[in-house]
Amino acid sequence: MKTSRKSRRIHRHYGRMHRAGGLNLVSLMDIFTILVFFLMVNSSDVKVLQNTADIPLPESTARQAAQENLTVRVTGQSILVQGREVARLEGIESVDTRIAGLSEELAWRRARWEAVPEQGLEVTIMAGRDTDYRLLRKIMQTCVDEQYRRVRLAVASELRNG
């Protein structure tokens, strides 16, 4: 038997309204894409120098934020450049004004640059507050001799009230 028009329309309408709902993945993917880009952009704003517990940095009220550049660390009985040991402190004589291993490493890193800027390359020195000044002066002099003239000393930020 043939069904009436009204019966077919009611059947279509019932079929449309009582079907299992679907999940719209396009909107969900858009939200996650925006979230990923937001996290990628905002995660690069924080710049913290890597600090180890064995280097008690001097405290200061530095006004500039830390910048990532070449790092020279004085830890225990060794001098590290970017985490790689380049010299031992017991091998350094008091009459030398330069540190040979550090000088070689800095020269190798400088050679990787196409052109050295007029004001020199940047380097950050991390040394504990109990480091001998004569040793620190030798490290700075070695850096300056190898055209790393923009020397910064790492300090721990002091909390200021008010």
Q: Domain extents for the chain?
A: 5-43, 59-157
pLDDT tens track for 89-123 = 887 777 777 888 888 999 998 888 888 888 888 89
Residue 59 above 80 pLDDT? no
For 32, phi then psi, to 5°, come to -70, -35
Positive or negative, the CA dihedral 65, 67, 73, 75 is positive
Window from 42-56, 60-74, 124-138 with minimum mean pLDDT: 42-56
Q: Among 103, 75, 71, 108, which Cα is nearest to 89's?
A: 75
pLDDT tens track for 127-158 = 887 888 888 899 999 999 998 888 888 777 66
Give the CA dihedral 155, 157, 158, 162, nearest 10 degrees: 140
pLDDT at 162: 44
Tell me the one-letter amino acid at 124.
T
Joined together, the tokens standing for residue 28 give: 């969900």
Q: Taking the complete model, does pTM exceed 0.75, yes or no?
A: no
Cα 139 to Cα 135: distance, rounded to the nearest angstrom = 6
SS3 call for 56: coil
Cα 48 to Cα 37: distance, rounded to the nearest angstrom = 22
- As a whole number, the mean pLDDT across the chain is 80
Label residue 67 by pLDDT band (50, 70, 90).
low
Window from 24-38, 59-73, 103-117 with minimum mean pLDDT: 59-73
Cβ neighbours of residue 102 closer than 8 Å, sequence gap 6 or more: 72, 79, 81, 86, 87, 139, 142, 143
